[in-house]
Amino acid sequence: MVAGVQDCDSSGDIASQRSRNITLSRTPMPAKRPPTASPASTPKSKKPKAGQSNLDAFFGGSASASTGSARAGKNSDKGSASPSKAPKVSSLVAHEVIDVDLLYEDKSTIASSSGSLAPGVSTLQVADGRIALNRSLTPAALASPTKAKYAFMSADPNNSHSYQSLAVDPLAFGISNAPWPPNTAAPYSFLSHTLSTLSETRSRIVILNTLTNCLRTISRYDPPSLLPALYLMSNALSAAYLPIELGLGPSLISKAIQASSGLTSAALRQLYNSTGDVGDVAFQAKSNVRTLIPHPPLLIIGVYDALLKIANAKGTGAGKIKQSIVEKLLVAAKGEETRFLVRTLSMNLRVGAVRTSILTALARAMALTPPATIVSGSSEKSAYRVDEDVQEAAKSTPVDDAVKDVVNQKLAEAESLVKQIFVQHPNYDDIVAALLDGGLGCLSEKVPLTVGEAGIPLHPTLGSPTRSLDEVYERLGDLSFAAEYKYDGQRAQIHCEATAGKVTVRIFSRHLEDMTSKYPDVVSLMQEIFAHDSRLQSCILDSEIVAIDPADGALKSFQELSNRARKDVQIADVKVCVGIFAFDLMYLDGEILLEQAFRRRRMLLRERLPPFTASSPQAGVARFGHVESCESEDGREAIEEFWMRAVESRCEGLMIKLLDSGDAPEEASLKEKEKEKVRRKPLPATYRPDKRTSAWLKLKKDYVAGLGDSLDLV
């Protein structure tokens, strides 16, 4: 049984199962979405994700399709389209009650019990061919909406929560009382309340306040739900380098909505044409569904566990298992839970909670409210914790500037720490475990840079576009730099570690995807390099994998490389030879080099990992080398000649990298230029994960040719 989800397959006699029923009130629905049906939140111009596009196709057209011409089928069961005969929801059944538990029973079970059915109760065929109990409401109940409401809605106060606003300033937010019953897990309704608030605004301040107050509340009153909440907010199930995907098709989601609402595919398509969002479709489809005896409320941790079960369902019958879990979730969902549950299933939350906002909110939440797992008065309190007396002082009117400065400084330090740790170790599991165990003060110690078997990729440094060599010299001034070929290949972060005679190699893409099984020849080559030099213990390389000619090592185009399978490649099947062109070294033999200048990192790379060609037949013909480069000390004429060679080769252009940290000229205003005042800004030559730094300048042929910024995704 999934935590927080009613097990509709549990054993029990038919009479007891009939006690939980759903009312489908088939009143005519307007063609256009009522203003109150959904938060006016969703950015209309946001490009849908792949899953949403599939759902668009399934429901028959884009959201921009005219509502008046919404297509519906002559035969609604088949879902065919006809503009002249749009299905009306009111034409299906006037009012009926569906026993949702019997959606999971077979026809023989229901038939065997039909003799004991109450008068007026019959079987009903539902969306996907299964049958349930159909009980028509009495005329008296239909004539009295109030009585019908109380007859088919739960009066259980624990089933419906009313939450305070999360959008207020965190210092003014009331955290003293739990918003759900004491000693119980956080309900999914609280998270859907958070997502609903987020979807109603584009204000960064409101978004951060909402996320911060949500995470503070969960960490204080239900710490085990903090990690699932972060993943659900992030619209993910795991870290980017772990291949865990839901694997839900649009047809399966549509069938689950039909089964939980009783509507046909044609009716759902009509709703989609008027709303343009699959979550809104599910919300409206279930808006008239009521329960006699409610299902237990969904829990945050229960929903997350259910999604993991969906992702882990493999092999024969996996589709039925997934659909069963989705249907159970939708049956138990209420109100806004339905909207955001379906958006989660379609991998398109449509809220403004990006990764940076979530990390900022997590840091603020930990600084303002320590988790319930941390003993009050711990040593963690002094470094990043905003003491309660300071928080109280900040609530006074007017706020003392000194108090405000203390709060802002503490929050800024906490944010910087959490972001720094995440880009070096992008795994919420480890970060949340460390925060709940020791707070912000122990985070750096408990979540280190990781290599080897448990290697975790760090976010790569990114370069800033530039248009010409003149602009390069203008931006860097007299600072020393190296110009390197920008190869037309696939960026690869390579982790290697030698332990007990075994060399573990893992390869990650620019987007942190695990590519180890795609490049067995690279794995074998790196293992041979480590075997050749016993001094090497571990390293993390930044490199470019490029297709090459095995005869002379000449560069080939990226299209040659793209023909390789994405995973489970065998060395014997390798048809395209590759070369590894290393250009940076972030970790070597236990030493983290991120804060070292590029000049030293480059020197260590060339000294400790020289060019190498595999000798073992099992290693294929993969080669290891360094990017071809030229330094500014060689003079501008040499740099210009090097640029022309790059243009004539199969390279995309040049990467210009600052060798040593320094102060570069900052772009000045016209008034300052007239006064011949030049401001300087610090320009670090360190490796800065997840930063598009001005210390790395990207000069591509496309830019110089005036074609504008090209899409550099590899």
**Angstrom distances, CA of residue 305 to CA of 109, 228, 414, 482:** 30, 8, 30, 50
**What are the DSSP calls for 152-205, one per residue?**
HS---GGGS-----SSS-GGGS--SS-SS-TTSPPBHHHHHHHHHHHHT---HH
Helix residue ranges per DSSP H, 234-371? 250-261, 265-275, 278-285, 300-312, 318-332, 336-345, 355-368
CA distance 516 to 495: 10
CA distance 425 to 410: 22
Helix residue ranges per DSSP H, 88-203? 107-113, 139-143, 145-152, 188-199
Q: Are residues 256 and 237 in the same domain?
A: no
Instruction: Of 118-132, 214-228, 391-405, give the lowest mean pLDDT range.
Output: 118-132
User: Taken in order 646, 650, 651, 652, is the CA torsion positive or negative?
Assistant: positive
Tokens linked to 410: 């503490």
What local confidence, expressed as pLDDT, does residue 627 receive? 96
Residues of the domain holding 185:
171-242+352-446
Banded model confidence at residue 22, pLDDT cuts 50, 70, 90? very low
Banded model confidence at residue 617, pLDDT cuts 50, 70, 90? low
Residue type, 210: T
What local confidence, expressed as pLDDT, does residue 619 receive? 52
Domain count, the chain: 4
Residue 374 in 3-state DSSP? coil
Average pLDDT over residues 565-577: 83
Q: Are residues 64 and 195 in the same domain?
A: no
**Angstrom distances, CA of residue 502 to CA of 296, 537, 580:** 51, 10, 21
Find the length of the chain: 714
Q: Are residues 119 and 60 in the same domain?
A: yes
pTM across the whole model: 0.75
Tokens linked to 701: 């042929």
Q: Are residues 45 and 132 in the same domain?
A: yes
Q: Are residues 403 and 468 in the same domain?
A: no
Q: Is residue 6 domain-resident?
A: no
Q: Are residues 31 and 115 in the same domain?
A: yes
Q: Is residue 598 domain-resident?
A: no
What local confidence, expressed as pLDDT, does residue 678 receive? 54
Point out the residues that are catalytic: 486
Average pLDDT over residues 560-589: 88
Average pLDDT over residues 33-56: 46
Asked if the model's pLDDT at residue 42 lies above 60, the reply is: no
Q: Are residues 47 and 150 in the same domain?
A: yes
Residue with tokens 């570690």: 497
Tokens linked to 338: 């339905």
Asked which of 257, 280, 300 is the last residue of a domain, the reply is: 300
Domain CATH for 432: 1.10.3260.10
> What average pLDDT is seen over the chain?
77
Q: Tell me: the pLDDT tens digits for 208-235?
A: 999 999 999 999 999 999 999 999 999 9
Helix residue ranges per DSSP H, 60-157? 107-113, 139-143, 145-152
What local confidence, expressed as pLDDT, does residue 401 receive? 81
Q: What is the CA 299 to chain-centroid distance, rounded?
A: 20
Question: What letter does residue 551 receive in the DSSP assignment?
Answer: T
Radius of gyration in angstroms for the set of CA atoms belonging to the chain, rounded to a whole number: 30
Q: Are residues 267 and 206 in the same domain?
A: no
What local confidence, expressed as pLDDT, does residue 695 receive? 94
What local confidence, expressed as pLDDT, does residue 454 receive? 73
Q: Is residue 323 domain-resident?
A: no
Asked if the model's pLDDT at residue 99 lies above 90, the reply is: no
CA distance 348 to 90: 30
What local confidence, expressed as pLDDT, does residue 573 receive? 81
Q: Tell me: the pLDDT tens digits for 496-537?
A: 999 988 999 999 999 999 999 999 999 999 999 999 998 999
Q: What is the CA 86 to chain-centroid distance, rounded?
A: 37
What local confidence, expressed as pLDDT, does residue 328 receive? 92
